[in-house]
């Protein structure tokens, strides 16, 4: 029997939680993830994570949403290779912020937290960007790069949670699940 429900279709979130040896069911809710006009990124990811957690009506639920912000502009998943190149060109040599909203819903009620990580990209040559985009890795990731893969080579510095940049700050997920009564990491 599963201990909780992961309300997410993200394979990266599934992989991160599975590494902890947790048993869970995956249900990807169908919610409108449109960002509201002028909605700050941290408010946006908390809202979407909360919507995802509240949509599943069975057991203890964990949900998350992650976005990348550069100079106040939210960068979602690229629409294709051309947009991925544009995103990576903008991120090259710059520091951006990754926000994840994490929410749990269960006996302790609806609990949420927003985690922030600042990431500085290496200065990338156009050929490096083209090569990376051609791998296909950046096409389904906010900001057009993946820390869990070869995209890690693009990052010069990181302040905060590595797992947050991958899509789920594990320390926060563990804390929220524990508060809901899920036994995590022997606790």
- Model pLDDT for residues 16-73, shown as the tens digit of each residue: 999 998 999 999 999 998 999 999 999 999 999 999 999 998 899 999 999 999 999 9
Q: What would the two tokens of residue 108 be? A: 């302790």
What is residue 1's predicted lDDT score, i.e. its pLDDT? 46
CA-based nearest residue to 168, from 97, 67, 76, 100: 100
Q: Is residue 121 part of a domain?
A: yes
CA-based nearest residue to 168, from 85, 65, 58, 87: 65
Ranges assigned E (strand) in 45-108 = 61-70, 73-75, 95-106
Domain residues for 158? 4-179
Q: Is residue 73 part of a domain?
A: yes
b/e 71-100 (16+ beta carbons within 10 angstroms → b): eeebbebbeeeebbbebbebbbeeebbbbb
What is residue 184's predicted lDDT score, i.e. its pLDDT? 87
**Helix (H), strand (E) at residue 116:** strand 109-121
What is residue 185's predicted lDDT score, i.e. its pLDDT? 80
* Predicted structure pTM score: 0.92
**Number of other CB atoms surrounding residue 60 within 10 Å:** 21
Compute CA distances 135 → 44, 89, 121, whole Å: 30, 16, 18
> Which residues are tagged catalytic?
65
The Cα–Cα gap between 112 and 99 comes to 13
Q: Is residue 133 part of a domain?
A: yes
Q: How many domains does the chain have?
A: 1
Q: Is residue 44 part of a domain?
A: yes
Q: Check which CATH number belongs to the domain holding 161 and give it.
A: 3.90.950.10
List, for residues 121-172, the tens digit of each pLDDT value. 999 999 999 999 999 999 989 899 999 999 999 999 999 999 999 999 999 9
What is residue 187's predicted lDDT score, i.e. its pLDDT? 65
Q: Is residue 185 part of a domain?
A: no
Q: Is residue 17 part of a domain?
A: yes
Q: Is residue 187 part of a domain?
A: no
Q: Is residue 184 part of a domain?
A: no
């Amino acid at each position: 029997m599963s201990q909780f429900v992961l309300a997410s279709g993200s394979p990266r979130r599934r992989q991160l939680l599975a590494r902890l040896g947790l048993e869970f069911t995956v249900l990807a809710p169908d919610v409108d993830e449109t960002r509201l006009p002028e909605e700050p990124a941290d408010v946006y990811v908390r809202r979407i994570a909360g919507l995802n957690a509240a949509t599943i009506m069975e057991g203890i639920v964990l949900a998350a949403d992650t976005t990348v912000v550069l100079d106040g502009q939210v960068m979602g998943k690229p629409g294709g290779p051309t947009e991925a190149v544009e995103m990576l060109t903008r991120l090259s040599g710059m520091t951006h912020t990754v926000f994840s909203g994490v929410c749990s819903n269960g006996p302790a009620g609806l609990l949420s937290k927003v985690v922030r990580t600042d990431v500085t990209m290496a200065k990338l040559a156009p050929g490096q960007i083209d090569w990376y985009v051609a791998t296909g890795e950046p096409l389904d990731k906010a900001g057009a790069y993946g820390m869990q893969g070869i995209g890690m080579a693009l990052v010069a510095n990181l302040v905060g949670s590595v797992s947050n940049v991958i899509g789920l700050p594990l320390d926060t997920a563990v804390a929220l699940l524990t508060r809901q009564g899920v036994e995590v990491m022997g606790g």
